[in-house]
Amino acid sequence: LRVSGHEQELHELRRDLFHRIAAHAKAGSSDFAPGAVHVDAATYVDPDRYAAEHRRLFRETPLVACLSSDLATPGAYRAFDDAGAPMIVLRDKDGVVRAFLNICPHRGARVVRDAEGTASRFTCRFHGWTFDTTGQAIGVPQEAHFCGQIDAQKHLIPCPAEERHGLVFVQATPNGKMDLDSHLGALGAELDLLDLDQARSVADTVIETSANWKYGLETFFESYHLTSLHKETLANNFAAGLYVYDSWGPHHRLVFPHRQIFDLVERPEAEWPIDTLGVNYFVFPNTMIFVGSLTPERSFVTLSQVYPRSVGRVDTRMTICAPRGVNSSEELAEVEGMLRAMREPVEQEDYAVTAEAWASLAYLPAGTKFAYGRAEIALQNFHRSIEQALRR
């Protein structure tokens, strides 16, 4: 294994965050927003609004498709349907990450039909057209029957894809361009500190929920609901209403410390478990990267990604990764157990509430606005960022 280049920088970042948390813990404060913000409740139920969000945020914005290590070798591929458009993401024979519409240019059949694998070529089962890992058609049965008229349109249709910070980003914009630098901004340098290129995904799970995608996602954005909704579960692990918040444009970082923080701040800094401080990144529009754990002892990396299916349906994919991979069946069991423990409160508590709300929101009188308080600072930024993206 390569020795990490960022352990010291990550340690220093966590130490700074720990100091900010300690100061808040002593003062009984948090990184509050300056005021409350109001958002029209129709944002969650209006089908036109949903269509605009889906187009702008899921088909014209870079999305995290997987970890770099999920495409470990040349020829490794994965189907990626979560943006709506069926796509294949792969590492070509020269090691370059690419994406294509998973739609045969002949007459539209699905080319790759399994979820993942390794191949040097892909053959469409309908009429047997075959493509290499750069998307070029390398075999068209009875090609002469097309009378030389398919040369420009016989290849797989590319979508933007790029490997960055140990993650694979794609954009469901056929023949389009993706500007990751301007999308990520200064968040990029911080993602580097996480050394995600060394992480390995170990297990994943999908939660299907009746809710607008924003409503589901927002349950990850505040700890205001901890002492009420999660009083028997997560409130035993995390300090309620105590967090530090930073944002980079539409992206943010939230740190919700473990309850032990209140004892720790009374002790000397040398005793602080700085290197296991949980840090939660939100990569707009739909991906949370949590580096941490339910308990302070050990850190995992968890990706939680929400994918809208319709205005009132959302899938949440949770992927748990070991920062350096797993090396034994005990480690594997531990990681899988952690994923189950993280899924349960989301499914049974957060998403029980979001499903109930979904069933009711359409009955609110027109013009109803929801208020997001000072502790809901991340939600305030989220709604502002969506408005800005839709205006562009």
Residues that bind Fe ion (CB under 5 A): 219, 350
Q: Which does 127 bind (CB under 5 to 8 A by kind): ligand FES, Fe ion, none?
A: ligand FES
- Residue 29, C-beta contacts closer than 8 angstroms, at least 6 positions apart: 23
Which 226-265 positions form the footprint of ligand FES (CB under 6 A)?
Answer: none
Task: Give, in order, the Cα–Cα distances in Å from 93 to each of 129, 133, 174.
Answer: 19, 6, 22
Q: Choose the contact partner of 155 out of Fe ion, ligand FES, none; CB within 5 to 8 A by kind.
A: none
Q: Is 126 in the site for ligand FES (CB under 6 A)?
A: yes
Q: How far apart are CA 333 and CA 165, in angstroms?
A: 27
- CA-to-CA distance for 330 and 294, rounded, in angstroms? 18
| SS3 at position 250 | coil
**Does 129 help bind ligand FES (rule: CB under 6 A)?**
yes
Round to whole Å and give the CA distance between 374 and 29: 11
Interface with ligand FES by CB under 6 A: which range of 24-32, 106-114, 296-304, 356-364?
106-114
Stretch that binds ligand FES, among 74-82, 99-107, 178-186, 284-292 (CB under 6 A): 99-107
Q: Does 39 bind ligand FES (CB under 6 A)?
A: no
Give 88 or 254: the residue with its C-beta nearer to Fe ion: 254
d(CA 59, CA 51) in angstroms, rounded, equals 11
Please tell me whether residue 146 binds ligand FES under the rule CB under 6 A: no
Host H or E run for residue 114: none
- Shortest Cβ 16–Fe ion spacing (Å): 26
3-state secondary structure of 255: strand
- The one of ligand FES, Fe ion, none whose footprint includes residue 389, by CB under 5 to 8 A per kind, is none
- Least distance in Å: CB of 148 to ligand FES? 18
Q: By CB under 6 A, tell whether 107 contacts ligand FES.
A: yes
C-beta closer to ligand FES: residue 36 or 126: 126
Site membership for ligand FES, residue 155 (CB under 6 A): no
Neighbour count for residue 244 (Cβ, 10 Å): 20
Q: How far is the CB of 289 from Fe ion (least distance, A)?
A: 17
Give 127 or 231: the residue with its C-beta nearer to ligand FES: 127
Among 106, 154, 214, 252, binds ligand FES (CB under 6 A): 106
DSSP 13: H
Is residue 353 a contact residue for ligand FES (CB under 6 A)? no
Cβ 125 to ligand FES, closest distance in Å?
Answer: 8
Strand boundaries in 50-174, DSSP class E: 63-67, 76-80, 87-91, 97-101, 116-118, 121-123, 130-132, 137-139, 158-159, 161-164, 167-170
Could you give the CA distance from residue 71 to residue 96 in angstroms, rounded to a whole number? 10
Q: 56 vs 61, 98, 235, 247, CA distance in Å?
A: 7, 22, 36, 21
Whether the link from the prior residue into 285 is cis, omega within 30° of 0, is yes
Cβ proximity to ligand FES: between 112 and 191 the closer is 112
CB of 105 to ligand FES, least distance (A): 8
Is 252 within 8 Å of 245 (Cβ atoms)?
yes
Structure tokens that stand for 239 in this block: 């300090």
Residue 139, phi-psi category: left (phi > 0), alpha (psi -120 to 50), beta (remainder): beta
350 binds, among Fe ion, ligand FES, none (CB under 5 to 8 A by kind): Fe ion
Question: What single-letter DSSP state applies at residue 123?
Answer: E
Should residue 127 be labelled a site residue for ligand FES when binding is judged by CB under 6 A?
A: yes
How many angstroms separate the most distant Cα atoms in the chain?
81
> Which residue number, 112 or 377, has a Cβ lying nearer to Fe ion?
377
Per-residue contact flags (x/-) with ligand FES for residues 40 to 69, judged by CB under 6 A: ------------------------------
Kindly list the residues in this chain that would bind ligand FES in the complex (CB under 6 A). Answer: 104, 106-107, 109, 124, 126-129
